[in-house]
Amino acid sequence: MADITGIVLAAGAGTRAGGPKALLRMPDGTPWLELSTTALLEGGCSRVIVVLGAQARLARPLVPIDDRVTTVVAREWERGMSESLRIGLAAADGDAALITLVDLPELPVVVVQRVLAGSGVLRQATYGRRPGHPVYIAADHWVPVAATLSGDHGARAYLVQHGVEEIDCADLWDGADRDEAG
């Protein structure tokens, strides 16, 4: 069984949401951070790193208390998703990382499991041919991926250039991110 570090990217200001999505909750009060973290752990990750940034002090108490979950802060989160991903990969260990976004609070465990069951060293969930999350990156690719990151762009260009295995998950979920609670 592979040793996988889950990474939840939750550092952004959430301008479309009116504030950091790391602070959002479902109607029943469950924090999005808890849902994202739980999906990764229940799906097969050995541990989870939550990357906070904007309003990190307020978001930290929403991260589940679990010895398999740690928080890191992207101090320069304003630089965009690239900074969050870079910080998350730098904190990861094990055989691979499985990355998701905090604004996917309804990510089903079965999607995590399907992506982890793939065979490629780079894998990405797709939804009707649309790339999405989670994204699997083997440890040998962490440093090269980080070197290509800039601005508010993730690793998609690197993944495509290096033959990412696209894993269709449209039968399990729509993969749509959310901009608001409820």
What confidence tier does 1 reach under pLDDT thresholds 50, 70, 90? confident
The pTM assigned to this predicted structure is 0.96
72-89 pLDDT per residue, tens: 999 999 998 999 999 999
53-75 pLDDT per residue, tens: 999 999 999 999 999 999 999 99
Token pair in block for residue 19: 């504030």
- Nearest-angstrom CA–CA distance, 174 and 1: 28
41-50 pLDDT per residue, tens: 999 999 999 9
For residue 164, pLDDT beyond 70? yes
pLDDT of residue 85: 97
Give the CA distances from residue 121 to residues 29, 52, 175, in Å, rounded to whole numbers and listed in that order: 37, 26, 21
Beta-strand runs (E) in the chain: 4-10, 47-52, 69-73, 96-101, 122-127, 130-138, 165-168
For residue 35, pLDDT beyond 80? yes
Report the candidate in 57, 151, 37, 42 with the shortest Cα–Cα distance to residue 100: 37
